[in-house]
Structure 1
């Protein structure tokens, strides 16, 4: 009996001990999980807050190089500092708002990846929103942001060597713009690479320089509205719906740009609408639906648009005039292997414009004195090619024996009086004779801008010129970094 009682007590004790042990182990595990979660949350929150705290703690004019890692945006910058991510820092906005809001002058942001903005067009959710002057944004990767870099009422900023793309999950028309200038002046946009963003827009923004950028897979590679006196130089735009389009934007200079494969029903290399005093110099416009499109341009009285030294080749239409307009000067251009060299919508020609010393690959005249200039004028008439221009569905037959036969018969025995589109009195037979003095054109533009600056600034022009010299030095240093 005593033995039985002893065994029963030991069994009960073991059962209670095991039950207590299980409870203790369960409580311990739960405590550890709670502590680990709290620690993890604390680390993440502190890491998130630390970037803004580091920015706030950085003195005016100081440089901040955050520890490598991923930080959560959005970030506010309201003083002149330099933030250098060294290629090891990512700022993720978590799908809300813009990644960085910059409300200061004299800030430098470089070598950082900015990603995952919100998707609000009303709020212009961006990689960086810039509302300040004299800032430098360079060598950053900006991806999965609705807009790339937004400059709103911002002056004298440099945007350089950034790689920008939009939200790939959104249809092209609903994406934001790679770089957006709104009431922003005297900025330099240079050496940026843009892939898959909707447009780059320059609206109500004058005297900006946009140079040596690359853009592909977008809608408008570069779109101006009500923006005067901008310089567009050395850019490469490939496989966009439109290369460069100028709307109500006088005084633009387009030099040494290469625009290729702007296709689709409205595809064009360069377009102008009611735009005056434009210089289109030494550009290559290749494999586009339309090379150059002109609609009521030039618009202002006593102004001209100059198209000089351009290679316009392998396009559906070389130059398309929306109306029989006047005031354009086309000289020293190469027109090669375009299905139609020049076209005018509606009835009428382009004879009110100046055509001189262009090279036309379909010229059928002679050069008896071997001076490289045709002995007879180059004359272009509208024949059977009007069929597919007036009836777009007839484009299916371009290059077929049927349309070629119709064109031959029209030339042999016209059914009606053909329309003279243009006459070039001295067509070139060799591109070696093409001599475009770009420096003179640029000097004329700079002289005009300097005169305007003196008038606009009066006594305050000296500090403006002083900062202009420092800006030029900074631009040169950026160019050197790019070459290296």
Structure 2
């Protein structure tokens, strides 16, 4: 007698066979390249990592994967920009934890829902590469702890919503502690607390990053021997905050429009020594360059443009300050308690020099008059009289302690800057000129049009 077949059991058997076939595809045998083909539904990424062998490359098919995950093998995981890792577990402090040297994570979209100290990626290994990632986080973006010689490149890191909690309550975009020799380049970071935070992380290179709407675009503490170059920071409270460092190079950066806060600066240097600050553009900030308790540094070929205060010294001495350009600042310079700074060959656009010999250098020195700054410090209401005839007259009459004023004995008659800085300035000036020409064109057309209508 032939037994009857229950159709319900047959359907169940087919489902089991399909599931086994899917598992066979997802967990391949040992090989150099792994292809993960997830179901349309969200699946866990950790089993795919667990099934791979040390040295494998995993290419994730398009889809949504579930975190958190721990990468404890030397793997290359590539999402090719079409795979998304979602981490919503409330107890998970890290969406991706990497503890294996030479691991690589590329082309993955990461959504970290947890806030506070939770991070999208935490690295605790050396020579790790993170590139072409897109990270939306409610906490931190990328965190390195005792991880050396890593590469963090071409990533986009952003807080979940542009508006909401104050920037000081959010996490940092890239956060390094005791991690040496890291290369951080060409990342775009916005709407977080600090864009790039470096502490006790020496010999680090921060190059060509774009940083917007942050507290500090770049925040550095104890990073001797590092370089901060060719970065763009705009609409932050401070462009670069450099503190407690030696032998650091800050060059070729553009920090513009840091003016929304009373403490806004383009570049803030605190307890900095034997470092070079060269070829930077600081434009439209409350204070262009602020230097406090810093000594034996070189500031050269910087363009300080349209700031409220161009440069401010406080307790800073023994610095070399030459061939910088000051244009259209409300207050060009202010110095208190700062002695033995070697200022020479700078351009001050408000200074009316006298060049008898025709060598392009004024025969009259330029002394930074502290009268106005001291006056408004005692009574802010006097700012109402800025550049009034009476204020200008009183400032010219003030000579108290002139021998101690910071003085440029050889100010330039014309602006002379490095080509890189000139290019940055001409770019901004070109945009202003273009807008002006467009407005002029519209005005002319409007006048002609109104004239024709009247006729």
- Which TM-score tier does this pair reach, normalised by the shorter chain? 0.7 to 0.9
RMSD: 2.8
Residues 406 and 342 of structure 1: is their aligned pair in 2 closer, same or farther, counting only changes over 3 Å? same
- How many corresponding residue pairs? 385
| Contact kept? 2:42, 2:63, Cα under 8 Å | no
User: Map of 1:27-106 to 2, 5 A cutoff?
Assistant: 49-94=43-88, 96=90, 97=92, 98-106=94-102
Structure 2 CA distance for partners of 1:86 and 1:376, relative to 1, 3 Å = same
Deviation at 1:406, TM superposition (A): 3.0
Gaps of 5+ in 1: 1-27, 299-303, 439-484
| Contact 1:117–1:126 (8 Å) recurs in 2 | no
Contact kept? 1:142, 1:165, Cα under 8 Å: yes
Go from structure 1 to structure 2 and tell me whether the alpha carbon gap of 1:413 and 1:280 turns closer, same or farther (over 3 Å shift). closer
In structure 2, the residue corresponding to 1:185 is in which secondary structure?
coil
- Residue 147 in 1 paired to residue 140 in 2? yes
Contact 1:63 1:81 in 2 (8 A): yes
| Structure-1 separation of matches of 2:48 and 2:283 | 50
The worse-fitting range, judged by mean Cα deviation, of 73-82 and 379-388 is: 379-388
User: Structure 1 146/435 Cα, relative in aligned 2: closer, same or farther at 3 Å?
Assistant: closer
Which protein has the bigger helix share? Answer: 1
Change (3 A) 1:411 1:343: closer
Residues 307, 328 of structure 2: 8 Å contact kept: yes
> Do residues 370 (structure 1) and 342 (structure 2) align?
no
Could you say which residue in structure 2 is the equivalent of 1:446?
none
**2:268 alignment partner in structure 1:** 271
Gaps of 5+ in 2: 1-7, 24-37, 422-455
Q: CA deviation at 1:351?
A: 4.8
**SS of corresponding position for 1:406:** helix
1:424 alignment partner, one of 398, 408, 412: 408
Q: Displacement of 1:49 after TM fit?
A: 5.0
Q: Tell me, yes or no, if structure 1 residue 178 matches structure 2 residue 173.
A: yes
Distance 1:409 1:120, change over 3 A: closer
Normalising by structure 1, we get a TM-score of 0.74
Residues 343 and 421, structure 1, Cα contact 8 Å, conserved in 2: no
Q: Is 2:122 the partner of 1:129?
A: yes
Residue in structure 1 matched with residue 432 of structure 2 by the alignment: none
Partner of 1:410: 394
Distance 1:363 1:415, change over 3 A: closer
Q: Which runs of 4+ in 1 moved over 6 A?
A: 42-46
Q: Deviations over 1:350-397 (max 9, x none)?
A: 4520001101111212223332211222222223343223434544x2
Counterpart CA distance in 1 for 2:41 and 2:71 is: 18
Whose strand proportion is higher, 1 or 2?
Answer: 2
1:386 to 2:374 alignment: yes
1:205 aligned onto 2:201: yes
Q: Distance in 2 between matches of 1:245 and 1:283?
A: 14
Query: CA offset at residue 119 of structure 1?
Result: 1.6
- Write the deviation string for residues 201-237 of structure 1: whole angstroms up to 9, x where unpaired: 1011111000000101000111112221110010001
Cα 1:344–1:116 change in 2 (3 A) is: same
- The alpha carbon displacement at 1:73 in A equals 0.8
Structure of larger gyration radius: 1
Tell me the CA shift for residue 267 of structure 1: 0.5
Could you say what secondary structure the match of 2:412 adopts? coil
Aligned to 1:214: 210
Equivalent pair of 1:142/1:148 in contact (CA under 8 Å): yes
**Distance in 2 of aligned mates of 1:390 and 1:85:** 59
The SS at the match of 2:369 is strand
Provide closer, same or farther for how the CA distance between residues 185 and 93 of structure 1 changes in structure 2, counting only shifts above 3 A.
Answer: same
Report which stretch shifted further, 167-176 or 202-211.
Answer: 167-176
Contact 1:241–1:266 under 8 Å retained in 2:
yes
- The residue that corresponds to 1:166 in the other structure is 159
- Give the deviation of 1:430 after TM superposition: 2.1
Alpha-carbon distance in 2 for matches of 1:159, 1:317: 35
CA distance in 1 between partners of 2:146 and 2:62 (Å): 33
- Normalised TM-score (structure 2): 0.79
String of CA shifts for 1:254-313, please: whole Å, max 9, x gaps: 010000111211101111222211210100011111111122112xxxxx1110000011
